[in-house]
């Protein structure tokens, strides 16, 4: 399968969303709203739930399935308030010793006027800064599109996993082709050389696990992939929870510190 075919599956309108996983993989999900500063960004959802009896904090970037829902969700493109809501819930999780599980699915942070006026860059930067030292385990799962800084703002974690047909990149293949070749139509070609598929990123050491989907994509069999996610979390979380805070943070720092290839 070509990389761009995976981009199409990752963007499929029927692809399961963050809230689908919240409701299927966890018990007693209660949504919590707002950044306590400006407003409630519908592109970011979050709240409390239980996994095998253990309380967890869930945060996700939510896409809509139709136009009406997408207006509410802004097509899964978060504003600064969304990232600040996410940060509020992360700090709350830290206070109460709950692990944080993020479900990432965004083409990128919203490039709007208000988003710039209210500090999109600062909001993303602050999340990277705070997540790097958040004293509780964090697992991030790329479930569809992992678009640039807007995705990374929820993906500085102890473990980063990707669904088999999700993609994660510095920029959309369209944007990449447009910047490098001044031709957005060369997106398929860009997708091939960008190394954006789950298996490419696993090989590069960017993610620790690739979670299977049935042929055609997880919208064809949601339960199959959702069960794999649930079991993976049930296996991984107790190990992360057992680590001392110092060890956890040291390993998280080293995870990101090690990324980079250069000659000297």
| One of 54, 65, 119, 245 touching other proteins (CB under 8 A) | 119
Beta bridge partners of residue 44, listed in sequence order: 61
**Which residue, 128 or 243, has its beta carbon nearer to other proteins?**
128
| One of 50, 204, 231, 242 touching other proteins (CB under 8 A) | 204
Distance CA(35)–CA(150), nearest Å, equals: 17
Distance CA(172)–CA(194), nearest Å, equals: 10
**Which residue, 224 or 253, has its beta carbon nearer to other proteins?**
253
- Under rule CB under 8 A, residue 118 binds other proteins: yes
- Under rule CB under 8 A, residue 191 binds other proteins: no
**Shortest CB 131 distance to other proteins, Å:** 8
Distance CA(41)–CA(194), nearest Å, equals: 31
Distance CA(155)–CA(65), nearest Å, equals: 23
- What tokens were used for 62? 């939510």
- Under rule CB under 8 A, residue 148 binds other proteins: yes
Contacts of 254 (CB under 8 A, 6+ apart): none
- DSSP class of residue 74 equals G
Distance CA(90)–CA(102), nearest Å, equals: 10
| One of 72, 179, 212, 231 touching other proteins (CB under 8 A) | 179
| One of 101, 102, 156, 211 touching other proteins (CB under 8 A) | 156
- Under rule CB under 8 A, residue 4 binds other proteins: no
Pair 137, 99: CB distance under 8 Å = yes
Using CB under 8 A, list all residues that contact other proteins.
109-113, 115-122, 124-126, 128-130, 132-133, 148-149, 152-153, 156, 168-171, 175-176, 179-180, 193-196, 201, 204, 206, 250, 252-253, 256-257, 259-264
């Amino acid at each position: 399968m070509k990389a761009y075919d995976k981009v199409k599956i990752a963007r499929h309108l029927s692809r399961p969303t963050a809230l689908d996983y919240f409701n299927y993989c966890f018990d007693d999900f209660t949504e919590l709203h707002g950044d306590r500063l400006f407003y409630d960004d519908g592109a970011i959802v979050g709240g409390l739930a239980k996994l095998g009896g253990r309380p967890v904090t869930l945060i996700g970037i939510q896409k809509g399935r139709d136009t009406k829902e997408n207006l509410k969700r802004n097509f899964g493109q978060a504003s600064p308030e969304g990232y600040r809501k996410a940060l509020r819930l992360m700090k709350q999780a830290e206070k109460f010793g709950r692990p944080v599980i993020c479900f990432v699915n965004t083409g990128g942070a919203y490039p709007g006027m208000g988003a710039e006026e209210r500090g999109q860059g600062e909001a993303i930067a602050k999340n990277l800064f705070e997540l790097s030292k958040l004293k509780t385990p964090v697992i991030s799962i790329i479930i569809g599109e992992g678009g640039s800084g807007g995705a990374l703002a929820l993906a500085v974690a102890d473990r980063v996993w990707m669904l088999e047909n999700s993609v994660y990149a510095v920029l959309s293949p369209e944007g990449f082709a447009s910047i490098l070749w001044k031709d957005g139509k060369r997106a398929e070609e860009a997708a091939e050389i960008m190394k954006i598929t789950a298996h490419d990123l696993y090989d590069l050491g960017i993610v620790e696990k690739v979670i299977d989907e049935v042929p055609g994509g997880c919208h064809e069999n949601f339960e199959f992939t959702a069960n794999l996610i649930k079991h993976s979390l049930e296996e991984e979380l107790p190990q992360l929870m057992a680590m001392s805070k110092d060890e956890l943070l040291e390993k998280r720092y080293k995870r990101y510190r090690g990324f980079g290839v250069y000659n000297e």
